[in-house]
Amino acid sequence: MKKFQVQPGFVVQAFRFALDPNAAQEQALRSHCGAARAAYNWAVGWVEAAWWQRRAEASYGIFETGLTPWRPWSLPALRRAFNAVKHTDPRFAAWWQENSKEAYSTGLANAAAAFDNYAKSKQGKRRGRVVGMPRFKSKRKARLACRFTTGTIRVETDGRHVTLPRLGTIRVHEPTGKLLGRVQAGSARILSATVRHERGRWFVSFQAEVKRDLVRVARPDVAVGIDLGIKTLAVMADSTGEIREVPNPHHLDAALKELCRASRTVSRRRGPDRRTGQKPSRRWEKANVTRNKVQHRVANLREDALHKLTSAVAAEYGTVVVEDLNVAGMLRNRRLARRIAEAGFGEIRRQLAYKGKRNGCRLVAADRWFPSSKTCSGCGAVKAKLPLHIRTYHCDACGLVTDRDANAAHNLAALAAAAVTGTGVAGDPDARKASKPRGADRKTRTTPSGRRAERGRAGGATLPHQQQTETRDRPQIEALTL
């Protein structure tokens, strides 16, 4: 796809609007997205055909020099190969001219990126989970999306229509004033547009180069630690000692009864069956639309609540400290998976990361093994064990009694000073190889209690296993709140 050079002082920002296409325009949108999927599948099959051919020839004992040459998967190479066969290939010859060339470029670009990810993962150059070979996209399951980088891409002056290549002028469900005003003022330039079908609606996202002035936060000298949980979505403790609690709205729980009723109605209708080729009935389609509306409303409410929370935090505090949670591992707990997914821990951190850049807010991620809940915010003593059912923290050393989540938030806020001095907080680029903060490794120091504490203060000897023990608690348990 086309690459753009961002000018100094400008940032790339997306503006998303819902569309209200008519029947003909919706059919054209689906055709473009289907063309992107077809081009993607063709590219995957074209590249992998050479792989399988080489494997078959190698099994016959053919030497390396006599094998079929590798087919390149770069975007220019895929474009040249596709343009050479689109006139004669029966899969495209009859209808490829009906769509914009950008639809096919979208599929080819996605295929090139998929092969690059697979190659980098195979070579160990890509972070995250291992990526397998690209697979064909199903017509039934593939997400409908198409990107336009050239041609007529603009927001109309009436603020209620947008124009896209080959699709024409489409009405927008909501006013486009937030982008139109910037374009007319000369502070924004549209780079590309992406149409996508999500949650039963069509959306268009304009990628624009926007001139944005840095708006400083309200309290730049104040750091806040955020402890995420289930019962209480976020407990925030700042460096001034103030504590705020953000309750979890539980949008899914509120709509669960309605969702169960709608799902039961769907199950009683004649639905599709791929094994027998059975088509869904009209009543099943209507019931399925009703059920999807409930799920879409829950998703929209959750998204709105998370955006309001992260926007308020990024606009107020100069430094935000969050935990590096293993959300994928936490979701393996079948008892809490639904509530953890509903809270959106990973989405909160993602939004804080990009919103903090707008206001000069600095985001620091505490080490995954940092015992935020087990550490006393008053004296720094660390407990060896702290079960989840204990919601009040009692320090055996100094006698501090406080809420478990508030104690963890205070410990996270204290890490902001350590991140400034470079003492090894994860997320600080200058502290990668520095010494670790207190308790940031996998071992938790125990605090003697009772007679052991009195004997320790009196000069009595303690055994090695009493001084330091290894905790076997999983790291993701630290942020859970039952």
Q: How many CB atoms lie within 10 A of CB 340?
A: 23
Dist CA 133 CA 118 (whole Å): 6
Q: Please pick, among 102, 324, 405, 473, the residue that the annotation labels catalytic.
A: 405
Backbone angles phi, psi at 199, to 5 degrees: 55, 40
**Integer CA distances (angstroms), 140 to 29, 270, 278, in order:** 16, 18, 15
441 catalytic? Reply is: no
- Choice among 102, 238, 316, 323 that is catalytic: 323
Nearest to 345 by CA among 313, 310, 379: 310
Report whether 111 contacts 73 (CB < 8 A): yes
In the residue annotation, 405 being an active-site residue is answered as yes
Q: Among this protein's residues, is 227 annotated catalytic?
A: yes
List all residues 6 or more positions away from 54 whose beta carbon is below 8 Å from its beta carbon.
Answer: 67, 68, 70
| Cβ-based neighbour number of residue 20 at 10 Å | 15
Strand partners, 195: 146, 204
For 89-125, letters b (16+ CB in 10 Å) and e give eeebeeebeebbbbbbbbbbbbbbebbeebeebeeee
What are the b/e assignments for 355-389, b being 16+ CB within 10 Å? bbebbebbbbbbbbbbbbbbbbbbebbbbbebeee
Sheet with 201-211, edge to edge strand ranges:
10-19, 201-211, 188-198, 145-148
CA distances from 434 to 337, 364, 371 (A): 35, 15, 19
Q: Which of 102, 227, 324, 367 is catalytic?
A: 227
β-partners of residue 170 are: 162
CA-closest candidate to residue 41, choices 120, 122, 147, 139: 139
Catalytic residues: 227, 323, 405
